Amino acid sequence: MSTTPSPGPTAVPATDAVPLPTREPDAATLAQADAATLAQADAATLAQAAERAAGDLLAPPARHRLADVVPAPQQVQPDPTGDWVLPAEAVIVATADPAALAVAEQLAHLLRPATGYPLPVTDATTPEPAGGIALVLDDTVDLGAEGYRLDITTDGVRVTASTAAGLFYGVQTLRQLLPAAIESRDPVTERWALPGGTITDAPRFPYRGAMLDVARHFFAVEDVLRVVDHLARYKLNHLHLHLTDDQGWRIAVDSWPKLTTLGGTTEVGGGPGGHYTKADYTRIVTYAADRHITVVPEIDLPGHTNAALVAYPELAPDKIAPPPYTGTEVGFSYVDPADERTYDFVADVLGELAALTPGPWLHVGGDEAFKVKGEVYTGFVERVQRIVAGLGKTVVGWHQLAPAAHLDGRVLQWWGTNGEDPTTAEAVRRGARLIISPGNHAYLDMKYAPDTPIGHDWAGLIDVRKAYDWDPGTHVADVPTEAVLGVEAPLWTESVTSLADIELLLLPRLPAIAELGWSPRATHDWNGFRDRLAGHGPRWETAGITFHRAPEIPWSTTPAIPTQRNVPQTDTTKP
Ligand code: TNX
């Protein structure tokens, strides 16, 4: 994390007022070439160059300001003389390294549909923009594991980073600086102008996440991949999957097959439920990893386990199978902490899940186990923590885990609504780190307003400003910023039954949480955020993404392209 004070986007003057820049002097010079030169040159090339020069001289500056990015970049230095228009013949050149070339292919994949340009990808030892886009992997660049530098000049675009993740984030920024029509799935006639200047950027926190509850309602792999796309757009790097709960068990476990064949067949409201095979889960993990997103799988223990007890009554305290549960109450179920068989179950389930999960984390829940109290609860959690450590993973759990003994590296996910929490602060003093998910700011299952058609309100209403106006670094009393690993926006799905429902609750609040996780605090400014966010409405519309037209945001009313297309699609074509 950089502590260097930066001007941030709010300190950057609007470029709209600057005089029209002169672009592409070569083309302009060509247009004025004398008759002798004209006679020798290829007429068609000259005509094309003259047309471009005239067009550029008449053309307005790039529509977007360099600072119009969500999350706000660390440093923005606009250069109005550096505006650049992506030409049809542009080439994307990347460092000859598989990870850099993969990002180059992803960029080409993003730009080809709307531009209709071929945008071939090539490699080079020292890539140069040369009128196109260069992605440069350079390990001498000191911007951390995720930082990048983006230079837009009249010679093209250069993204420089020391990691492929940094290049990927630079590409997300680039995408936002292009006209909104870039989101179109079909070719659009557009001037693909980018604002000139330099962005130097790196995240404030290493953990920036969102959670999807696939237990209360089950969601198909395609829906989850689409959520991954949304996370990637806003530089989030963790997807927490809440895989098990009272209403359904969603991940195949070979050693306990009935967890899914019985426990996976229910959901809130009586629908059919469903589960992920190991291949499904791996597909999600791989798709996320390709977008530099780590999956954090959660098996909620010892409570929230009715579906497991339906499948395996031997785990229940009374050894009697409870009826399947399709309501929305919490806190009634638990696996028997006094039975050794329970720990076999935990070890088997977490062992199989760990083997499928390349990321370092296993989330073990721990919330609302109202019937497992005091030392029985802490004793259970401590054994589970040791099982996780034995699998070579780092334990994450809801902050109810706080009273249990510390274990190296452990992370508590804080979901309180009041920042005074001495028990969590004490766990931090013993070494715990926090992921901050305040129920009354970051819970995306809360309604925006009383008339939001789905969602809860137990933690209050969360409009966009409420989602944005808080600071994860100082939110929990007596917890220093250094103990904060990052921020996460959970989406519980008791009332959420479709991808459109997910998107309605995610957007536009997910970008608010993403900005809290990424941007330096010095850039925090509600009015600036609101204005930057406004431009994303036409992007989502063009991409066929559902969102809530929050009245606080001055949404742009100009459609990105004259004829709107609204075909929802997942960004699944592998580069
Ligand atoms: C509390 S937050 C829960 C979930 C519910 C959610 C609904 C947490 C760790 N537990 O079981 O789905 O409220 O908002």
- Give residue-wise pLDDT tens across range 456-474: 999 999 999 999 999 999 9
Span 123-139, pLDDT tens digits: 999 999 999 999 999 99
| Top-confidence residue, 380 or 31 | 380
506: nearest Cα among 210, 180, 268, 69: 210
Alpha carbon distance 533, 554 (integer Å)? 9
Please confirm, yes or no, whether 368 is among the known catalytic residues: yes
Q: What is the distance in A from the centroid of ligand 1 to the CA of 70?
A: 28
Report the residue count for the chain. Answer: 575
The position carrying tokens 């542009």 is 90
Ligand 1 atom closest to Cα of 367? 9
Give residue 559's pLDDT.
83
Give residue 51's pLDDT.
54
Give residue 556's pLDDT.
87
Alpha carbon distance 543, 180 (integer Å)? 9
* Residue type at 491 in one-letter notation: L
Give residue 74's pLDDT.
98
Give residue 562's pLDDT.
66
Is-contact 487 517, C-beta < 8 A?
A: yes
Q: What is the distance in A from the centroid of ligand 1 to the CA of 445?
A: 9
Residues with CB under 6 A from ligand 1: 330, 367-368, 398, 415, 443, 445, 456, 492, 494
**Residue 372 predicted with pLDDT over 90:** yes
In the chain, what percentage of residues exceed pLDDT 90?
Answer: 85
Is pTM beyond 0.85? Reply is yes
